[in-house]
A and B are shown apart, each in its own frame.
Chain A
Amino acid sequence: MSAFMRWVRRNLVVLAGLLTLGFLILPNVIVMVFSFNNPKGKFNYAWQEFSTDAWTDPCGVADMCGSLSLSLQIALWSTIGATVLGTMIAFALARYRFRARGAVNSLIFLPMAMPEVVMAASLLTLFLNMGAQLGFWTILIAHIMFCLSFVVTAVKARVMSMDPRLEEAARDLYAGPVQTFIRVTLPIAAPGIAAGALLAFALSFDDFIITNFNAGSTVTFPMFVWGSAQRGTPVQINVIGTAMFAVAVICVLAGILVGNRRKKHA
């Protein structure tokens, strides 16, 4: 057997890992590279020459930054709404035995399991029948609804694995119900709540199908990207995409750094 084959054998796991990683990251790299393109026509699909024009003028495309700001607002509010409601539901499901608990438990998973297009169409039917004005509020309601199940799942897992003796210990050590919740229950459930919130933000920000059905004349960022793809893709879309990716990576790195430092200190 040649030396090369031996080397491949020994490093097969690493190779497979690197290939998978490349498969995951390549699209992001393309988005980033093309954010520095200077396309000839309306479509940013072929590399022409390096340029930072789009980066220096990110809001240079009509209506794009407006839709971005709307998407961020909706994502923020639906994250807050879904996290608060979802955390409360998760605690109720994990802690208490009540009538229809089983039913609630499975209904909560429905939005995750149901095809989005079906949910979108039925929501639209509901809104139209109620005579609701389609726009910011209908989008927000729809987003909170489908984010809820993800928050509930994340928080419930955390609450279920929590030792009930911890709260008893807090009560035994002179903490009343409110203090027990703030000092013990909440900090221990926090990682689950944070995971749920992050998931909710990401899901809400990039949702297209449900939003498209229930937005009326309002245009969110994913809708803007979809719409502009029909007529030509401005480089600024890649700029926003790259920036979002960078923010996410920075958040993750910061999380790792803080975690490492804590471990060293302790």
Chain B
Amino acid sequence: MTDTTRGDVRLSGISKKYGSFQAVHPLDLTIPEGSFFALLGASGCGKTTTLRMIAGLEDPTTGTVRLGDQDVTALPPYKRPVNTVFQSYALFPHLDITENIAFGLRRRGIKSVKKQVDDMLELVQLGDHARKKPHQLSGGQQQRVAVARALINHPKVLLLDEPLGALDLKLRRQMQLELKRIQTEVGITFVHVTHDQEEAMTMADQVAVMNAGRVEQLGSPAELYENPQTTFVANFLGTSNLITAEVADSSGDSLVVKAGDAKLSLPAARTSAETRTGGKVLLGIRPEKISLVHADEAGTIAAGRNRITGRIAQSSFIGVSTQYVIDTPVCDAFEVYVQNIERDGRLTPGTEVVLHWNPEHSFGLDAAQDIDAGTEEEVTA
């Protein structure tokens, strides 16, 4: 594994400013060769601008873009070994599918393109449509042509700018698997820009979560989900219950924090905030990690678990699970997802309940942040 840095994409101090608007703050990012990398964030967070700077379609205000050993910052897009799949696909309407796919090869003076185009059509399963015009294909088919048109050039990096954004949900799921299959098959580095956290998590090996022109956190999907380090990541990837608490004891491996009457335990290793005794901290817990019991059976809860009392405000049955919203003294609208294995018929709105979870599943965040950053209401506002 001595060669692993050869094809890496390395962004150093790269930033983009439009007039007085800082679209991307200086950021450093290394995308390992052969990985499926996702840039995830809400619209306007700078993810597409970052992608376009790698493609050469946007000149960075500061910083450099390196592909392996080569500094490509000053190269125009047509001289970079990088290809893009555009959100609108941008298929050439006056050329048929074959000529669309062969476009890159022809521009580089390659005459015999038939074999390669046929291979590509097979890879994206569009062999029967070679002579059709783009407008005669469905959205999903056009999307695959756009992928084939880029991949035929064997780029060092394939850039995908929200390539599934225009497809309906079912097709999007299908194309996610398809793209993942193609990436595994060809082994090229994919950089995928998306605002859909589920898409990023299912497809990518590594995800960089971007917000307001900055990378908030970088890691594998599981790492980001299990151990978010900012409220934005905690709320944008899935749902988190965040409790404002006061640190009561920060001496051990586990912090003891107080929220209202409840004393909760929080692993110090999973806390990204500075913790002094008496200081504030946000304790986070994912809704599916929480168990719910009727208040009458509070005695059955094992010792050593974090527990909070509350009253069910809403419950919605969605098949595999039931989602409860629970009013608690420490956090209103506490979300709890319970698998429908053994349903307790008494758990209806208005019922007094006790929530409990393994303290190891809690994570701690800096309390100085906006507690609602990255929630749906905030993003769409």
User: Interface on A for B, CB 8 Å cutoff?
Assistant: 163, 165-166, 168-176, 179, 183-184, 187-188, 265-266
Find chain A residues with CB under 8 A from B79 CB.
174
Contact (Cβ within 8 A) A172 B55:
yes
Of B77, B78, B82, B96, the residue contacting A266 (CB under 8 A) is B96
Closest A residue by C-beta to B155: A172
The CB with the most chain A CB atoms within 10 A, among B77, B82, B149, B153, is that of B77
Contact (Cβ within 8 A) A266 B131:
yes
Is B93 an interface residue when CB atoms closer than 8 A count as contact? yes
Nearest CB in chain A: distance from B323 CB, A = 40
Contact mask for chain B residues 129-165; partner A; CB cutoff 8 A; 1 contact, 0 none: 0011100100000000000011001000000000000
Is B104 an interface residue when CB atoms closer than 8 A count as contact? yes
Closest A residue by C-beta to B131: A266
Of B88, B107, B132, B133, the residue contacting A174 (CB under 8 A) is B107
Contact (Cβ within 8 A) B107 A266:
no
Find chain A residues with CB under 8 A from B278 CB.
none
Contact (Cβ within 8 A) A168 B77:
yes
Contacts A171-B57, A171-B76 given; indicate if A165 touches B90 (C-beta within 8 A): yes
Nearest CB in chain B: distance from A195 CB, A = 16
Give A188 to B93 CA distance when docked, in angstroms. 8
Contact (Cβ within 8 A) A174 B108:
yes
Contacts A172-B55, A173-B104 given; indicate if A166 touches B83 (C-beta within 8 A): no
Contact (Cβ within 8 A) B90 A169:
yes
Chain B count of residues within 8 A CB distance of the other chain? 30
A163-B88, A166-B90, A172-B55 known; 11 other A-B pairs, CB under 8 Å?
A166-B93, A168-B57, A168-B84, A169-B86, A169-B91, A171-B78, A173-B83, A173-B149, A175-B103, A176-B76, A188-B92
Contact mask for chain B residues 64-78; partner A; CB cutoff 8 A; 1 contact, 0 none: 000000000000111
User: Interface on B for A, CB 8 Å cutoff?
Assistant: 55-57, 76-79, 82-84, 86-88, 90-94, 96, 103-104, 107-108, 131-133, 136, 149-150, 153
Find chain B residues with CB under 8 A from A163 CB.
88, 90
Find chain B residues with CB under 8 A from A172 CB.
55-57, 77-78, 82-84, 150
Find chain B residues with CB under 8 A from A176 CB.
76, 78
The 19 sampled A-B contact pairs (Cβ below 8 Å) are: A163-B88, A166-B92, A169-B84, A171-B57, A171-B77, A172-B78, A172-B83, A172-B150, A173-B83, A173-B153, A174-B78, A174-B79, A174-B153, A176-B78, A179-B107, A183-B103, A184-B92, A187-B94, A266-B131
Closest A residue by C-beta to B88: A165
Nearest CB in chain A: distance from B118 CB, A = 19
Contact (Cβ within 8 A) A188 B94:
yes
Give A266 to B134 CA distance when docked, in angstroms. 10
Give A165 to B149 CA distance when docked, in angstroms. 15
Nearest CB in chain A: distance from B279 CB, A = 50
Find chain B residues with CB under 8 A from A183 CB.
103, 107
Find chain A residues with CB under 8 A from B103 CB.
170, 173, 175, 183
Give A194 to B149 CA distance when docked, in angstroms. 29
Contact (Cβ within 8 A) B131 A265:
yes
Find chain B residues with CB under 8 A from A169 CB.
84, 86, 90-92
Nearest CB in chain B: distance from A21 CB, A = 31
Contact (Cβ within 8 A) A266 B136:
yes
Find chain A residues with CB under 8 A from B93 CB.
166, 188
Give A176 to B109 CA distance when docked, in angstroms. 13
Ordered nearest first, which 9 A-B pairs have the shortest CB separation? A173-B104, A165-B90, A169-B90, A174-B107, A171-B77, A187-B94, A175-B107, A172-B84, A174-B78
Nearest CB in chain A: distance from B100 CB, A = 9
